[in-house]
């Protein structure tokens, strides 16, 4: 299981230059992966030309580049890994999109006060990187004016088993980074309490992809 953007200093070591280059080359050769395509399809169904995008934990910028090509006007990409931000910046210049994307390095929860809300907020494989997922979701819902799209691990025994083995290996190799399987029902309650309703849910073997629409001001 791969998480693409994370919350705390260990992310800088987990998502290094080699990982960023590997993900960027994979995207250039193959385009978005299957789970990313599910999220993009869900967002594109409700995208209004000119929408702004806030991509939390955006990695090398896959969602940003794809949504800009589908009619979004601007994007802000926030990621805790400087290496991933450097790769995304290089790709933006290669695509001549640098004037349409703002790059912010840091933990979104800690930097949210410096970032403007957007019409669409995306968090792809990010919730699983935060031990304090409640704080993350609270900040995310505050920064979405209309749509919220997120993916997270399904709460299934085989997913928990894999995550436990992954975290055990990191502990043995003295790596600080950890991933988490948070309760989907709790995630939904937090988002709905903030004034959103779920429009769709798609699943893969490992991931759940939810699209929410704002119905009221929290």
Q: What are the per-10-residue average pLDDT scores of the chain (218 residues)?
A: 52 74 96 97 96 97 98 96 94 96 94 96 95 95 98 95 91 87 96 97 96 82
Instruction: Report pLDDT for 1.
Output: 46
Point out which residues pair with 149 in neighbouring strands.
122, 211
Angle at 201 between CA 197 and CA 202, to 5 degrees: 165
pTM (2 d.p.): 0.91
Instruction: Report pLDDT for 14.
Output: 62
Instruction: Report pLDDT for 11.
Output: 59
Instruction: Report pLDDT for 170.
Output: 85
Number of H helices, E strands in the chain: 9, 7
User: Residue written as tokens 């992966």?
Assistant: 33
User: What's the DSSP call for residue 201?
Assistant: E
10-214 carries CATH number 3.40.50.150: yes
Starting from the edge strand earliest in sequence, which strands make up the sheet with 118-123, in order?
A: 101-105, 74-79, 52-56, 118-123, 144-153, 207-214, 196-203
Question: In terms of Cα–Cα distance, which of 5, 28, 7, 3 is closest to 134?
Answer: 7
């Amino acid at each position: 299981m791969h998480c693409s953007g994370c919350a705390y200093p260990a992310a800088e070591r987990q998502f290094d230059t080699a990982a960023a280059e590997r993900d960027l080359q994979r995207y250039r050769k193959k385009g978005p992966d299957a789970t990313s395509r599910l999220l993009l399809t869900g967002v594109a169904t409700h995208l209004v030309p000119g929408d702004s995008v806030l991509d939390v934990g955006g990695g090398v910028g896959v969602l940003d580049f794809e949504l800009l090509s589908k009619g979004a006007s601007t994007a802000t990409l926030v990621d805790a890994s400087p290496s991933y931000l450097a790769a995304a910046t290089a790709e933006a210049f290669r695509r001549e999109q640098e004037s349409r994307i703002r790059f912010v390095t840091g933990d979104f929860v800690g930097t949210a006060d410096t970032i403007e809300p957007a019409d669409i907020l995306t968090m792809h494989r990010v919730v699983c990187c935060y031990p304090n997922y409640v704080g993350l979701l609270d900040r995310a819902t505050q920064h979405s004016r209309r749509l919220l799209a997120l993916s997270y691990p399904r709460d299934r025994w085989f997913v928990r088993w894999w995550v436990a083995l992954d975290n055990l290996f990191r502990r043995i190799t003295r790596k600080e980074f950890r991933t988490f399987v948070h309760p989907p029902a709790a995630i939904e309650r937090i988002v709905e309490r903030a004034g959103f309703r779920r429009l769709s849910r798609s699943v893969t073997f490992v991931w759940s992809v939810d699209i929410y629409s704002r119905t009221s001001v929290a």
